Structure 1
Amino acid sequence: MGKRIDYYDDPKAPAATSLVPSANAVVVNDRGEILFIQRSDNGNWAIPGGAMDLGESLPETAVRETAEETGVDVVITGLVGIFTDPRHVIHYTSNDEVRQEFSVVFAARPIGGAPTTSAESTEVRWVPRSEVGSLSMDRSMRMRLDHFLAASETPHLG
């Protein structure tokens, strides 16, 4: 498996070669904990998510990706924001693809399943909000979570 390398506003970053719609889910359980994966491709912590497949909507993508990466079934409850900053590119070394960021982030709640790792996650766990700041994660993932944690009534648009 290749690595994922995130660049933000970095003059040494490779130029983007693709734009792929993707979705993430901030899943919050009844205790207020947030579902996180530790990514197998870079070791960073992240909320579940991934690329949209043909024939599905972005909310369906968030639900599918969450189940695939974490073993937890969810229902979408709201929109956190749209994150499309062209200064953020992601280099996938397995195929040398460089994607420009394009992620729609949804809020969700669990309705079944249990935290289980996958090929994309080395660890899956519920994290108390007070511990989110101590997790190692990419800048763009931190922005998504910060916007959610700020409890803004307006989704992030950018």
Structure 2
Amino acid sequence: MAMPTHIVAAGGIVEDGQGNILLVQTIHGGWVFPGGQVETGENLMDALAREIKEESGIETEVSILIGVYSNTGTNKWHDRVTDIPTKVMLDYICRPVGGELGTSDETSESRWVPRDKVLEMITSPAIRTRYQAYLDLDGHVHYMEYVTKPELEIKRKRTT
């Protein structure tokens, strides 16, 4: 049996203390909360702070774990050949501590959006579901398993 391969990623719901959430527009066109893959030898919180800074220009402090998600669907990479392994994502609440809004090779725009307007901007069903879990936050960590293709299908959902 082959050793399992997983992608580990972290997402940040960055709250500015004035009711706004940091969103970035990806080069693929969709608005999302920032985050990305953890690199070899990197811890989750440092990876998330790095990704938020790279994608938006905002420096953050990572605070509360709010959700753990598994995308267990079999998908192809952008090359339409390479299989993407199971992705495990951990979402955290973060707060800004410096920096200025900017963009990167991965993002075309970044902005602060009123908390109650965020769902109007996010088009990805999986990201919408994860943001809704943040809105529904009740002091528990959410866990969800889903697949995204051919459409979002939630396979398991619970709180701890």
TM-score > 0.5, shorter chain as reference: yes
Aligned positions of 1:117-132 closer than 5 A: 117-132=103-118
Change (3 A) 1:99 1:139: farther
- Distance, in Å, in 1 between the alignment partners of 2:75 and 2:101 is 26
Aligned positions of 1:59-98 closer than 5 A: 59-87=45-73, 91-94=76-79, 96-97=81-82, 98=84
Higher strand proportion, which one? 2
Percent identity of equivalent pairs: 28
Contact conserved, 1:90 with 1:100, CA < 8 A, in 2?
no
Report the residue type matching 2:118 in the other structure: V
Aligned positions of 1:1-158 closer than 5 A: 19-40=6-27, 42-87=28-73, 91-94=76-79, 96-97=81-82, 98-158=84-144
Query: Structure 1 segments of 4 or more deviating over 2 A?
Result: 89-92, 94-101
Q: Tell me, what secondary structure is at the counterpart of 2:123?
A: coil
Partner of residue 8, structure 1 = none
Contact conserved, 1:35 with 1:124, CA < 8 A, in 2?
yes
- Distance, in Å, in 2 between the alignment partners of 1:75 and 1:124 is 18
- CA drift of 1:96 comes to 4.1
- CA drift of 1:91 comes to 3.8
- Distance, in Å, in 1 between the alignment partners of 2:5 and 2:123 is 23
Report the residue type matching 2:21 in the other structure: I
Report the residue type matching 1:92 in the other structure: W
Contact conserved, 2:119 with 2:131, CA < 8 A, in 1?
no
- CA drift of 1:151 comes to 2.3
Report the residue type matching 2:10 in the other structure: A
Q: TM-score, normalised by structure 2?
A: 0.80
Change (3 A) 1:134 1:111: same
Consecutive unaligned residues in structure 2, runs of 5 or more: 145-160
Q: What is the number of residues matched between the two proteins?
A: 140
- Distance, in Å, in 2 between the alignment partners of 1:79 and 1:58 is 11
Q: Give the RMSD, CA atoms, in angstroms.
A: 1.9
Higher relative contact order (CA 8 A, sep 6+): 1
Report the residue type matching 2:78 in the other structure: T
Consecutive unaligned residues in structure 1, runs of 5 or more: 1-16
- Distance, in Å, in 1 between the alignment partners of 2:102 and 2:114 is 18
